[in-house]
Amino acid sequence: MLEVKTDALEASFEALEREEDALGELREELAQLKARLDAQTVAAARPALSGVKSEASPFVEKYLRKGLEAGVELKAVTGVSDTAGGYAVPEEIDATIDRLLTSVSPIRAIANVVKVGSAGYRKLVTSGGTASGWVSEVAARPETQTPTFNEIAPPFGELYANPAASQAMLDDAAFDVEAWLANEIATEFARAEGAAFVSGSGANQPKGFLSQGATAQSDASRAFGTLQFVPSGAAGAFLAGTPQDRLIDLVQALRPPYRQGAVFVMNSATASVIRKFKTADGAFLWQPGLVSGQPDTLLGYPLVEAEDMPDIAADSLSIAFGNFKAGYLIAERTETQILRDPYTHKPFVHFYATKRIGGQVSNSEAIKLMKFTA
């Protein structure tokens, strides 16, 4: 009996020792957790450094900063060869580029933008409508006219940007590589595409709406794809005495179905001239936006300032008015490609970014122009 009781006591002591060991390990883990929490609290109390992020993507840390390829997603740069190398821009950077382009390039903000998966894009537009006729109850039903189909194939071009940064700048932890890269590419892309959407030639770039050709013929007699212009009344100027009348003519030249959502497009120099126009009772034609973020209006329609529009001069097409959502089409590839080049221009690292964009007038009835001619 004595031996049995002794064995039971020893077993109890061993169980207590194991529990004490487990409690000691738990206390140690709690102490480590408390130390980490205290460190995070101290770090949060410090003032944030500009451009410093707590976590960076593998694309930025491995590829942009150090040029390491392991663990970075590979993506084709060109559509000619499947083996061509490149790297996809992270989703965060690509989204930032789109937002900045909308604010910098006004035509992109008012036009119809579609995402395409290849370099080619086709769109069908019908004109003429379906004819109908009146007949008696027993009269024959002759064949009526059918709509005419027109194919729109916006010319594509490869838009590129090639900013550079020194390796020392990339190694600096306080330098926000993602924000810098997005801003640089967005600025270059916005400047190039904004000019192309207005006056692009269509050769390896979008075709601007001012390059479509313009005539004074109305919608009923004008060829498809050619825009209609309204003369200002004088060469290189508005009609003396009643310049606002020609602006009203420009608005009325656009058929009512397109006026819902129509806007004026001109540069700042032209807008400064029009802002001084008054009616017979002294009221200004131009009205400022009463709510923050709302555009200024001219004759009740929003006024968009695009600096790529030409200044007022003899025979210039300096003012556009129309529904650009229905009238101008922008087609673009969804992915922006970027290639890191640390070899060409040492010690600078180049970030060669490309994007394919196309553009063309899709409905020539939805946009009208003012030509400064007699």
Q: Please indicate whether residue 216 or residue 37 has the higher confidence score (pLDDT).
A: 216
Q: Strands 367-371 and 227-231, how do they pair? A: parallel
pLDDT above 50 (res 188): yes
Instruction: Name residues whose C-beta falls within 8 Å of residue 337's C-beta, 6 or more positions apart in sequence.
Output: 75, 77, 86, 87, 88, 89, 353, 354, 355
pLDDT above 50 (res 324): yes
| pLDDT tens, residue by residue, 217-245 | 988 888 888 999 999 988 888 888 788 88
Q: Both tokens of residue 312?
A: 């007022």
In angstroms, what CA-CA distances link 289 with 108, 139, 286, 297? 21, 59, 10, 7
pLDDT above 50 (res 152): yes
Phi/psi at 97 (5° precision): -60, -45
- Determine the pLDDT at residue 48: 44
| pLDDT tens, residue by residue, 189-219 | 888 888 999 999 989 999 999 998 899 898 8
CB 338 within 8 Å of CB 353: yes
- Determine the pLDDT at residue 46: 45
The alpha helices in the chain, defined as continuous H runs, are 2-45, 58, 91-104, 106-110, 167-171, 177-199, 243-253, 256-259, 268-274, 324-327
Whole-number Å distance between alpha carbons of 330 and 154:
8
Instruction: Name beta bridge partners: 357.
Output: 157, 332
- Determine the pLDDT at residue 321: 94
- Determine the pLDDT at residue 266: 92
CB 128 within 8 Å of CB 220: no
- Determine the pLDDT at residue 34: 75
50-64, 94-108, 351-365: range with lowest mean pLDDT? 50-64
Among 285, 317, 315, 291, residue whose Cα is nearest residue 303: 285
Phi/psi at 157 (5° precision): -145, 160
pLDDT above 90 (res 367): yes
29-38, 57-66, 332-341: range with lowest mean pLDDT? 57-66
pLDDT above 60 (res 144): yes
- Determine the pLDDT at residue 1: 47
Within 10 angstroms of residue 267's Cβ, the number of other Cβ atoms is 18
89-103, 127-141, 169-183: range with lowest mean pLDDT? 89-103
CB-facing half-sphere around the CA of 347: CA atoms within 13 A: 7
pLDDT category of residue 81 using cuts at 50, 70 and 90: very low
- Determine the pLDDT at residue 59: 63
Phi/psi at 115 (5° precision): -95, 130
- Determine the pLDDT at residue 77: 45
pLDDT above 60 (res 271): yes
